[in-house]
Amino acid sequence: MERVLNLKLASILALPRVVVLESASKREVLDILIDKLAETDFVKSKADLQAGIYEREELMSTGIGLNLGIPHVRMKSIKDLVLAVALVKNGVDDYESLDSSKVKLIFMIVARDDQHAAHLKLLSHLSNNLKADEVRETLLNAENAAELYAYLGGK
């Protein structure tokens, strides 16, 4: 459990941006996370965010394997680096992950277009920590959003 808490995401993640779903399609889960982010002061335009996320997905799926998806985008209409997270218990069948596995944990990262270093640092931090089987298993077994948020370093 200690390693999960080392994710230290509380500065960019809040409980209202963490969701646990039984099932969802890729479009459904991406739209839910976009909605969660659009409700914050970090996102100036929901339409821009939605267009940016889907444009990024068209380039290449952000399903990186190991049941993980990390959709991410940098754009002018974002005020600061922010994160939303979803756990889809039954997995997303149509995510098109690199290893063809169902995507169950989705970390949506949005950053301002000039936050290249912070964006890459967060991508690296997440991918390095989430490679650990015990970290992923702990997160995948979260019962609800509050528990998942606590595992991610929230209070």
Angle at 85 between CA 148 and CA 143, to 5 degrees: 25
Q: In order of start, what are the domains of the chain with their CATH numbers?
A: 2-151 (3.40.930.10)
The answer to whether 97 and 30 have CB atoms below 8 angstroms apart is no
Q: Evaluate if pTM is beyond 0.85.
A: yes
Residue 1: pLDDT band by 50, 70, 90 thresholds?
Answer: very low
Output the pLDDT for position 5.
Answer: 41
The answer to whether 104 and 140 have CB atoms below 8 angstroms apart is yes
pLDDT of residue 6 exceeding 90, the answer is no
The pLDDT tens digits for 27-75 are: 999 999 999 999 999 999 999 999 999 999 999 999 999 999 999 999 9
